[in-house]
Amino acid sequence: MAKAVMTFPADFRWGTATAAYQVEGNNTNSDWWQWEHSGSNILEGHKSGLASDWWQNAEADLDLAAEMGNNAHRLSLEWSRIEPEPSVFDQAALDRYRQILQAMHDRGIEPMVTLHHFSNPIWLAEKGDFNSSLVLDYFKRYTAKVVDALGDLIPKWVTINEPMVYAVLRYLDGVFPAPQRKGYGAALEAVGNMLRCHAAAYHIIKEQYPQAEVGIAKNTAVLEPAPGGMLNGWWARKASWFYNEAIWDTLVDGRFRWPFGHGKVDGLAGSFDFIGINYYTRFYLKFPPRGKLWEEEWGPEAVVSDGNYGEVYPEGLFRVIKSVLKYDKPIYITENGLPDATDRLRPSYLITHLREIWRAISFCYPVMGYYHWSLVDNFEWDRGWTQRFGLIELDPETQERKLRKSGQLYGEMCRSGSLSSEMAEQYAPDLIPALFPGQVPERDS
């Protein structure tokens, strides 16, 4: 049977993604370390502990990433390691980050570095972090230090990871470290200050490295109206603009819109070289919302990942790519994945989501790369170790790792730069009729 092949561009980034607090271990100067060790904030009382032991041995997983043929990896830096006390910088921490970044380059893995991925230094949280007017100076100082120490090894930067998720989970849902002030006002103030920090960081990086690519990674969900409810459609459109697009619109002209504030922010207009999309799933919205923005409910035929994380909805990736074309910037899928401890869904999830990217590229949509969340099982914030996102399975107690079947599949995709009917046959034969009509799985012919 002839093999059907969906080929990706030769320079496509075949990557994976992680975040410092979730993989490094023993980030004791972080507000998340405090949060974990106070009260019952983490599901099943789990602790990050050694996490995936990256601080001591990231190289173990980078070797596996290289064997998978990954040519890119997105990681974050832990601000609280680099600056454990205000204006006190830890050179040993900067040296270790340099070693990890160099290890990526040595393995042909291009780094994309996130400056802020949810966690704050304790000292910063105590000063009110993104609700304090001082945060802009602190973030500038932190960024300048990182650019000076590591900038030569960092071609791609994400300044802030998922400002809206940070705002919702910290200030509204209360599952992230408690801020000094909760509620919508404090949440929107924090997002506004995150954008001011982003703008400052953008220019600090570009001043020293004009060729660097700098952007934001934004969680982007398909927000649909729940069936019924006259106003659900109107509300879903409003909520989708607020959650998915308002920040990009603000980055275009540098002007805050209601409800984020008003007026122009110096240096904000045009301060992004790419669109970073963190896509996972879709949600249904009802009007009026009861506290949360969306409902964790799905249609009867929905396939839902571990711990009710979300519906597997591959077409949503194509939809969110289309929704950001108007910004006319290169697009990176800076996160995409699912919690799936037994790897029951991840092989078909990889095939169906990469196929949506291939479809987008075949329409000449500028999708430049894909960073699967995640390379290795890691500490899933308030859900602890109950949700496993890794292509590499990890026993956090023994630090024993094992490449999952989906990791073997992703390796075939990365090494070949393509998605083929043979891969579908081997890893997810049920997909053949839909993805490769006319190709009958070998065993059936």
Give residues in contact with ligand GCO (CB under 6 A): 19, 22, 161-162, 165, 219, 278, 335, 373, 380, 389
Between 52 and 70, whose beta carbon lies closer to ligand GCO?
52
Between 128 and 310, whose beta carbon lies closer to ligand GCO?
310
Which structure tokens are listed for 70?
């990954």
d(CA 45, CA 333): 32
Nearest distance from C-beta of residue 339 to ligand GCO, angstroms: 7
Q: Answer yes or no: are the C-beta atoms of 368 and 321 closer than 8 Å.
A: no
Between 1 and 303, whose beta carbon lies closer to ligand GCO?
303
Nearest distance from C-beta of residue 110 to ligand GCO, angstroms: 19
Which structure tokens are listed for 423?
């891969």
**Tokens 């409910």 belong to residue:** 297
Question: Residue number with the shortest CB distance to ligand GCO?
Answer: 162
Nearest distance from C-beta of residue 207 to ligand GCO, angstroms: 27
Between 343 and 425, whose beta carbon lies closer to ligand GCO?
343
Between 99 and 308, whose beta carbon lies closer to ligand GCO?
308
Alpha carbon distances (Å) from 220 to 44, 108, 116, 223, 308? 28, 29, 18, 9, 18
Nearest distance from C-beta of residue 228 to ligand GCO, angstroms: 29
Nearest distance from C-beta of residue 382 to ligand GCO, angstroms: 10
**Tokens 């291009």 belong to residue:** 110
Between 8 and 279, whose beta carbon lies closer to ligand GCO?
279
Between 303 and 434, whose beta carbon lies closer to ligand GCO?
303
Nearest distance from C-beta of residue 303 to ligand GCO, angstroms: 17
Distance from the Cα of residue 192 to its chain's centroid: 20
All residues at 6 or more sequence positions from 380 whose CB lies less than 8 Å from its CB, including other chains: 22, 339, 386, 387, 388, 389
d(CA 399, CA 7): 36
Between 22 and 244, whose beta carbon lies closer to ligand GCO?
22
- Buried residues in 409-424 as b, exposed as e (16+ CB within 10 A): bbbbbbebbbbbbbbb
Which structure tokens are listed for 98?
């340099």
Nearest distance from C-beta of residue 287 to ligand GCO, angstroms: 26
All residues at 6 or more sequence positions from 239 whose CB lies less than 8 Å from its CB, including other chains: 223, 285, 289, 293, 294
Nearest distance from C-beta of residue 179 to ligand GCO, angstroms: 17
| Cα-Cα-Cα-Cα dihedral sign, residues 243, 246, 251, 257 | negative
**Tokens 């230090």 belong to residue:** 145
